[in-house]
Each structure stands twice: as structure tokens, then as C-alpha cells.
Chain A
């Protein structure tokens, strides 16, 4: 069943239909929330809050429009609210040992190290770039969909993805060579 069909059923009070949408989009929503918030627990709280908000607002969803950018916009708003409540900074300083780990990646643990490092570097990017690169490269959203979710022009999304990639690749270059 398509997103539109499930959303239409959910709008008429079919909670199971909305449950299928949650099942379908929970992984992406949680990953994007993690990219934005850093903390897994906070991200899951925010993703849940986002799904709840979407469930309450499903009756107002314009079914002529795509569902997933609409949903992701709500999840992003919930994550931003959570971030404001938590008082996070836009960018976190790198941990002191990050540079050391960058200097000599162990091939054995390279991948695990890379994942950790990636999250650290991701946390240093501006919020919009974090969301844009995660939605585009990891989740396969189109620029237009991300633009709709973020409420910015499509060109801004392209620019954000470009800068985020450049920053990540510059920092992760030694790791990326190992895992290529």
C-alpha cells in the first residue's frame, strides 16, 4: 500500500495504517534525528514525539503532496525542539582524543572507529548541513524533498550537501582510504 493510501486511511482514524507508516519511516526518522541531536536517546524521544505530532495532524495532511517530506519536517521540528530544550550548541568541539584516533586508524577496528569519528565530525557541522547530507546521502531523499522538509530553497540544500560532504571527506580522508 502506498504512503498516500495509508495516510488517507490514517486520516480517517485507522491507527493500524498509521502504524505501518511508523514502521516504514522509523529508521530514517531516527537516523535523521540522531544526525541532528547526537544523542541516541534524545533522538528516539524526538522521533517518537514527531510521529505523535504527525498522527495528531494527519487529518490536515494534504494528500496531493508527498508524505515523507511532510513527516520528516515534523520529525525535524520535534528534534529541534528537543535540542532547544536540551540546550545543545549548534556545533560541539571535537573531543581531545579525536585527533589521535585520526592519526593512526587501526585496520582491524577501522570501521568501528570510522563510525564513531563520523558522528563526531557530523556533530561539528551546522544543523542544516547535518540534516541535508543525512537525508540526501544516507536516506536517498531528493533535494526538493529535503528543501520541503527543511523549509529552505532547493539550492540551499544542494549547497549544504556540498559543504557537508567536503567537510566530512576532508576530516575522514585517512579512514576512508582504509575502508574503500
Chain B
């Protein structure tokens, strides 16, 4: 006979408890846990991707902007060189752009000598 103070399991109560609490569909339950594990792993992978998505987009946008700026800066000297051509194309006389040539050095020197 089993007593309350025994250090061993109460066999009668234990058997009744197991019968009373006995779960069914053991295989189905194990399978269900397996499915949940796979779903959780998949969800975790997507979470990682989602976590990287925002900073990834920001980084990609930054790179695109920097690339565009760099490209624009590289193009800038060529644009300045063609400014005169653009103005001519707009109808400004070429003489205005060319200007009168200044007096030669010899002429300037002789003027100074005569004035002395």
C-alpha cells in the first residue's frame, strides 16, 4: 500500500493521472511542432531581411545620389568650355566675345619714350 509520505510515486494515482490526462494523436502533435519550427525559422529569415531592408534602401539611395553628384561634377568642365558655343548659338555676335586686341608692347614703349 502506498502512503502519502512515501518517497516513491503513488502508482495508483499516477496511472489514473496518466489515463485522465492522456493526450491523443501523438504523431500529429509532433508533426505540428515540426511545422511550427519550420514556420518560425522562415519567419525569422524574413525578419532579418526586413530588418535590413530599410537601411539597405537608405544606403542604396545614398549611393545613387553620390554617384549622380560625382557624375555631374565630372561633366562640369566640359559644360563650361562649351559656354561660348552656346552663347553664339543664341545669336550673340562673335566679335563681342572676341573683343579688340590690345596695343602691342612696341607701341606702348614708343609712346612712353616720345612723352619723355
Which A residues are closer than 8 A to B by beta carbons? 15, 18-19, 22-23, 26-27, 30-31, 34-35, 40, 43-44, 47-48, 51-52, 55-56, 111, 114-116, 118-119, 122, 133-134, 136-138, 140, 143, 162, 165-166, 168-169, 172, 176, 179-180
Give Cα A90 to B37, complex, Å: 31
* A43–B14 alpha-carbon span in the complex (Å): 19
Q: What's the minimum C-beta distance from B61 to chain A, rounded to whole angstroms?
A: 34
What chain A residues lie within 8 Å of B13 (beta carbons)?
Answer: 133, 137-138, 165, 168-169
Check B34 for interface membership: any CB of A closer than 8 A. yes
Q: Is the CB of A162 within 8 A of B4?
A: yes
A residues in contact with B12, CB < 8 Å: 176, 180
B residues contacting the other copy or chain, number (CB 8 A):
27
What residues on A are CB-neighbors of B21 within 8 Å? Answer: 30-31, 34-35, 119, 134, 138
| Complexed CA–CA distance, A43 and B29 (Å) | 11
Question: What's the Cα separation between A118 and B32 when bound, in Å?
Answer: 28
Question: Which among B19, B20, B32 has the highest number of chain A CB atoms within 10 Å?
Answer: B20
Question: Which residue on chain A has the smallest CB distance to residue B17?
Answer: A138
A78 → chain B closest CB, angstroms: 12
Bound: A111/B16 CA distance, A: 9
B103 contacts the other chain (Cβ, under 8 Å)?
A: no
Number of A-B contacts (CB under 8 A): 98
Of the candidates A18, A118, A169, the one whose C-beta lies within 8 Å of that of B17 is: A118
B36 within 8 A of A: yes
Would you give the shortest CB distance from B54 to chain A, in whole angstroms?
25
B116 at the interface (CB under 8 A from A): no
Chain A residues lying within 8 Å of B5, measured Cβ to Cβ, are 162
List the B residue with the shortest CB-CB distance to A118: B20
A136: chain B residues within 8 A (beta carbon): 9
Residues facing A in B60-95 (CB within 8 A) are: none
B33 and A51 contacting across the interface, CB-CB below 8 Å: yes
Q: How far is the CA of A138 from the CA of B20 in the complex (A)?
A: 10
Closest chain-B Cβ to A77's Cβ sits at a distance in Å of: 17
Q: Once the chains bind, are A165 and B33 in contact (CB under 8 Å)?
A: no
Given contacts A30-B29, A165-B13, contact A115 B4 (CB under 8 A): no
A138 with B18: CB separation less than 8 A: yes
Complex: how many Å from CA A165 to CA B13? 8
Complex Cα distance A134/B15, Å?
10
In the complex, which residue of chain B has the Cβ closest to the Cβ of A56? B40
Closest residue of chain B to A116 (Cβ to Cβ) is B20
- How near does chain A come to B49, taking the closest CB pair, in angstroms? 19
CB distance from B84 to the nearest CB of A (A): 70
CB atoms of B23 and A22 under 8 A apart: no
The docked-state distance in angstroms from the alpha carbon of A115 to that of B37 is 33
The 8 Å CB contact of B23, one of A44, A51, A55, A114, is A44
